[in-house]
């Protein structure tokens, strides 16, 4: 029952983590920046909780009672957290339509997530304490808790992804989780075998019975539904209080809100404005500006938003086919209830074919089948890693493969009408520079939104108003919402020349690639600048920083740690065994850093190829966790096997060493050296393997990107490998640590804390800085360097230890 309860903790925690990520995507407007921040805040809470739990365990007499009471509290915290996330904009008094600046967003995220994750970390030392003795080896006992909790995480992730997410809203899921947890806690005091006094056992037995009955009543009552509706409206009112919320739903890919003001409907995806319909006047200008750039368009591809009249206007031209790629089928089904008759008619036109695929995936896999005259990428700004995929050099090169020789690409980003400042210029200019790398001819239109037209044929695109007017008349287009004289408004010659001059003179513009998504990073700078934040200056400085600026501090830190160890040894006159223990904890922290960083890198690669992680988040987290469990299991088996084979040798050797050390006055400095060096040597091997895997991963990702059909299995497999390599070290460092300190709770708290402090830093730095700025290869090189530095640090400690042993003998 104890093992089942520990597994339930892992399951509960994983489901809570995935729900939190999905909720925070709305606060972050779909920006994957929240992955790094949510993971980071989560691991910071676990690290803090584990360290506090290890300290507090000394002062508390009954570990089992604390274990159960903590689980009661855990079940109460999660619903409060989710409700608070939905109301956070109101708490921060954010204005209507305003973005939250990055620093408050970071702090409030940590504040909201940390209480729950603190509990998960706090309970770990107590979990290790209550099952102590199950294997006969304290360090292996800790590893067993690690494995069982991770296996529970696997089950939780799979159940959420394939069953709960599609059937229930978050508060209904939380009620169901609490019923299950309280049922377990009802039987645990009587079946666990843990000795408590009779009064405590009765209380710990009957309180869960009452809570179980209460939660069952709540499950069947309308309370969860009412809380869901109330909190959803609260979140919506902080975004759009003057717009009536018509529909709110979760699809496989995103959260969808549709609101109505007067006769116009607005679509919000993950909290970010995506489209409005009917919106014929605006979309008519976009459509005719795009369609007249080609003298005689026949085959057209529309990637992204096709609502609001844009398809209706395109069908006014004598085109033969219009392929419309929209990832989310649910979006069209939900919005279809509110579409105008003309929009519904346009979608059912025989020339229109709707493909429910990711636009990037469609372009990559249609290359041998069809060619287009015009491709309009009608997606929002590259404010997220998902959207940035439609503005990279690789995507534009893929577009080239499906364009006819005189075909035209059209795309757009937000800009400024009369002034192109530092942040705006860098942001919109990165698209200008990237398109120039892929196409020979580029045209940029002025305005609040810059439209970019690109082609390789001479004379294919033109800003000449007379030419466009002639094409419009020749095709005999008759639109209720557009006439040819509007070209004078859209393409004022002075403004066209101004925007071209502003962008062409910039020498600092960066190329946006899949491996280095700088436009996404520059959007973060613009976001912080527009919200009055204080980080845009720092971010803007970082965009010009090279990889070596991140590698040099790692080398300096390594050298500093080695120098400190030498000085400490000189001061004591012998080797300080605490330094070796500390270096092993540092190695565990760097492994935690690398593990979560590799998971984020692979999440990013998964989204680059398939365009979504919303549905797969539970599976991906679960696979990583089962990798941790498998790694922990393998390490436990190694420990038990080596411990058995070296036990007799170690006893004899340690007796001789102890006698010699007593003579020299160094008693206790080198005890258990034979077995200890076994563990340390294995730890160094693991550090080297992790570093090599980090170096190899970018090449594996690049190879998989050419095989979209098989990439999903491959990337999830690589996530599992990252989990295994991360999980291998935890029991091993516990074995080294516990030889110096025999208390299992302190060892569990110290190692769990170090692991998650590393994971906290890895999540924040990778999600916010490394990936957007340095890309996959640069990030993986930093991770490899970190682990190699840890290997060198441990090797140096071993060298010092061996020298002490020689002197001792």
302 beta partners: 324, 376
Give the residue-averaged pLDDT of 182-202. 63
Give the pLDDT of residue 453: 93
**Is the pLDDT assigned to residue 266 strictly greater than 70?**
yes
pLDDT interval class at 222 (50, 70, 90): very high
3-class DSSP string for 549-600: HHHHHHHHHHHHHHHHHHHHHHHHCCCCHHHHHHHHHHHHHHHHHHHHHHHH
Q: Where are the domains of the chain?
A: 2-222+545-808, 285-530
What is the pLDDT at residue 672?
A: 41
pLDDT of residue 422: 66
Mean pLDDT of 661-682: 53
CA torsion 336→342→347→349, rounded to 10°? 150
Q: How far apart are CA 43 and CA 110, in angstroms?
A: 10
pLDDT of residue 669: 44
Quick one: which of 52, 41, 33 has its CA closest to 16?
Answer: 41
Known binding residue 196? Answer is no
Count of CB atoms within 10 A of residue 349's CB?
13
Task: Write the pLDDT tens digit of every residue in 118-175.
Answer: 999 898 888 877 777 666 666 677 778 878 888 888 888 888 877 887 788 899 999 9
- Please give the pLDDT value at position 128: 78
Please identify which residue in the block is written with the tokens 């439609």: 390
Is 326 within any annotated ligand binding site? yes
C-alpha to C-alpha distances, 310 to 90, 286, 302, 306, nearest whole angstrom: 35, 8, 10, 6
Q: Tell me if 256 sits within 8 A of 247, measured CB to CB.
A: yes
What is the DSSP code (8-state) at residue 485? G
Q: For residue range 732-779, list pLDDT tens digits in order.
A: 787 777 766 556 667 777 777 788 888 888 888 887 788 877 888 889
Per-residue pLDDT, 396: 92
On the question of pLDDT at 668 being above 50, the answer is no
Q: In what order do the strands lie in the sheet with 372-378?
A: 352-355, 321-325, 299-304, 372-378, 403-414, 449-455, 441-444
Determine the pLDDT at residue 210: 85
* Bridge partners for 277 per DSSP: 265
pLDDT of residue 26: 79
Instruction: Please report, rounded to a whole number, the percentage of residues in the chain having pLDDT higher than 70.
Output: 82
Ranking 57-61, 213-217, 288-292 by mean pLDDT, the lowest is 57-61
Residue 246: partners with Cβ closer than 8 Å, 6 or more residues away: 258, 259, 260, 265, 338
Answer with the residue of higher pLDDT: 578 or 180. Answer: 180
**pLDDT digit string, tens, across residues 243-261:** 888 888 888 778 888 999 8
Secondary structure of residue 84 in the 3-state scheme: helix
Region 665-688: mean pLDDT is 64
Q: How confident is the model at residue 528 (pLDDT cuts 50, 70, 90)?
A: low
CB proximity list for 233: less than 8 A, separation 6 or greater: 245
With pLDDT > 90 as the criterion, what percentage of the chain qualifies? Answer: 16
Spatial CA neighbour of 118 closest among 156, 70, 68: 70
Q: Beta strand pairing status for 272-277 and 299-304?
A: unpaired
Q: Is 103 left (phi over 0), alpha (psi -120 to 50) or beta?
A: alpha
Average pLDDT over the chain reads 80
- In this predicted structure, the answer to whether residue 484 has a pLDDT above a threshold of 80 is yes
Nearest alpha-carbon partner for 283 in 251, 314, 304, 249: 314
CA pair distance 490, 234, nearest whole angstrom? 40
**What 8-state DSSP symbol labels residue 768?**
I
Q: Does 57 belong to an annotated binding site? A: no
For residue 657, pLDDT over 60 is answered with no
Lowest mean pLDDT among 194-198, 432-436, 572-576: 194-198
Give per-residue pLDDT as tens, 351-379. Answer: 999 998 888 888 888 866 789 999 999 98
**Which class is 2-222+545-808 in CATH?**
mainly alpha
Q: By C-alpha distance, which of 449, 459, 394 is closest to 706?
A: 394
CATH architecture of the domain covering 285-530? 3-Layer(aba) Sandwich (3.40)
What residues does 409 pair with on adjacent strands? 375, 454
According to DSSP, the residues that pair with 523 across neighbouring strands are none
The DSSP 8-state label assigned to residue 170 in this structure reads H
| 349 annotated as ligand-binding | no
Q: Which residue has the higher pLDDT, 424 or 481?
A: 481
Q: Is the pLDDT of residue 648 over 60?
A: no
pLDDT band per the 50, 70, 90 thresholds, residue 12 = very high
pTM, rounded to two decimals: 0.76
How much is the average pLDDT of 320-342? 88
Instruction: Read off the tokens for 269.
Output: 């995806």
Q: pLDDT tens digits for 602-635? A: 887 877 776 666 666 677 777 887 888 788 888 8
Backbone angles phi, psi at 99, to 5 degrees: -85, 155
What pairing do the DSSP bridges indicate for beta strands 403-414 and 449-455?
Answer: antiparallel
pLDDT band at residue 302 using 50, 70 and 90 as cut-offs: very high
Task: Render pLDDT for 488-518 as a digit per residue (tens, 0 to 9).
Answer: 888 888 888 888 888 888 777 888 888 777 7
Confidence of residue 644 (pLDDT cuts 50, 70, 90): low
């Amino acid at each position: 029952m104890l093992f089942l309860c520990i597994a339930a903790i892992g399951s509960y925690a994983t489901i809570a983590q995935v729900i939190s990520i999905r909720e925070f995507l709305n606060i972050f407007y779909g920006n994957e920046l929240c992955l790094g921040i949510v993971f980071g805040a989560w691991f910071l809470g676990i690290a803090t909780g584990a360290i506090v739990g290890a300290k507090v365990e000394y002062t508390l007499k009954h570990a089992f009672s604390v274990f159960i009471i903590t689980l009661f509290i855990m079940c109460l915290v999660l619903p409060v957290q989710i409700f608070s996330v939905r109301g956070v904009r109101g708490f921060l008094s954010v204005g209507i339509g305003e973005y939250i600046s990055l620093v408050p967003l970071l702090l409030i995220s940590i504040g909201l997530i940390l209480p729950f994750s603190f509990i998960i970390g706090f309970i770990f030392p107590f979990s290790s304490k209550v099952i102590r003795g199950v294997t006969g080896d304290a360090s292996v006992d800790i590893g067993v808790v690690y494995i069982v909790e991770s296996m529970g995480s696997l089950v939780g992730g799979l159940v959420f992804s394939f069953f709960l997410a599609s059937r229930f809203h978050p508060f209904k899921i939380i009620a169901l989780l609490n019923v299950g947890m309280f049922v377990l806690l009802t039987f645990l005091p009587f079946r666990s075998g843990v000795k408590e006094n009779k009064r405590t056992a009765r209380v710990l037995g009957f309180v869960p019975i009452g809570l179980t009955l209460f939660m069952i009543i709540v499950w069947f009552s309308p309370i969860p539904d009412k809380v869901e509706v109330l909190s959803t409206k609260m979140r919506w009112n902080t975004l759009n209080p003057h717009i009536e919320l018509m529909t709110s739903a979760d699809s496989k890919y995103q959260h969808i809100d549709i609101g109505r003001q007067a006769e116009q409907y607005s679509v919000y995806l993950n909290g970010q404005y995506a489209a409005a319909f009917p919106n014929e006047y605006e979309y008519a200008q976009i459509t005719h500006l795009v369609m007249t750039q080609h003298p005689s368009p026949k085959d057209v591809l529309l990637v992204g938003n096709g609502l609001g009249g844009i398809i209706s206007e395109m069908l006014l031209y004598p085109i033969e086919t219009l392929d419309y790629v929209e990832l989310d089928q649910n979006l069209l089904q939900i919005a279809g209830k509110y579409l105008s008759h003309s929009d519904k008619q346009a979608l059912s036109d025989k020339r229109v074919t709707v493909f429910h695929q990711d636009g990037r995936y469609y372009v990559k896999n249609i290359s041998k089948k069809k060619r287009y005259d015009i491709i309009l990428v009608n997606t929002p700004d590259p404010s997220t890693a998902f959207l940035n995929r439609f503005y990279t050099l690789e995507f534009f090169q893929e577009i080239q493969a499906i364009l006819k020789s005189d075909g035209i690409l059209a795309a757009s980003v937000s800009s400024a009408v009369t002034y192109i400042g530092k942040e705006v210029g860098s942001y919109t200019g990165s698209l200008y520079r990237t398109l120039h790398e892929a196409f020979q001819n580029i045209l940029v239109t002025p305005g609040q939104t810059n439209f970019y037209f690109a082609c390789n044929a001479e004379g294919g695109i033109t800003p000449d108003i007379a030419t466009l007017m002639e094409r419009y008349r020749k095709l005999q287009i008759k639109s209720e919402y557009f006439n040819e004289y509007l070209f004078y408004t859209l393409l004022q010659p002075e403004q066209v020349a101004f925007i071209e001059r502003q962008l062409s003179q910039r020498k600092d513009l960066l190329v946006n690639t899949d491996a280095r998504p700088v436009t996404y990073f520059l959007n973060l700078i613009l976001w912080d600048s527009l919200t009055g934040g204080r980080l845009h200056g720092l971010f803007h400085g970082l965009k010009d920083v090279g990889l070596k600026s991140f590698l040099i501090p790692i080398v300096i830190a390594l050298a500093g740690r080695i120098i400190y160890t030498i000085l400490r040894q000189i001061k004591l006159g012998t080797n300080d065994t605490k330094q070796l223990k500390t270096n092993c904890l540092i190695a565990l922290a760097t492994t935690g850093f690398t593990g979560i960083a590799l998971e984020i890198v692979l999440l990013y690669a998964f989204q680059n190829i398939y365009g979504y992680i919303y549905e797969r988040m539970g599976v991906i987290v679960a696979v990583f966790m089962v990798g941790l469990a498998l790694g922990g299991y393998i390490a436990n088996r190694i420990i038990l096997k080596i411990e058995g084979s070296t036990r007799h040798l170690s006893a004899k050797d340690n007796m001789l060493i102890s006698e010699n050390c007593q003579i020299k006055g160094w008693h206790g400095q080198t005890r258990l050296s034979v077995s200890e060096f076994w563990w340390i040597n294995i730890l160094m091997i693991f550090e080297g393997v992790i570093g090599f895997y980090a170096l190899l991963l970018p090449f594996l990702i690049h190879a998989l990107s050419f095989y979209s059909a098989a990439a999903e299995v491959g990337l999830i497999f690589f996530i599992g490998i990252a989990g295994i390599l991360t999980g291998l070290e935890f029991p091993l460092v516990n074995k080294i640590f516990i030889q110096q300190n025999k208390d299992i709770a302190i060892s569990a708290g110290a190692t769990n804390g170090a692991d998650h402090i590393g994971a906290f830093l890895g999540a924040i730095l990778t999600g916010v800085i490394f990936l957007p700025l340095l890309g996959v290869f640069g990030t993986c090189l930093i991770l490899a360097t970190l682990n190699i530095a840890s290997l060198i640090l441990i090797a140096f400690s071993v060298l010092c230890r061996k020298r002490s042993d020689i002197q001792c003998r």
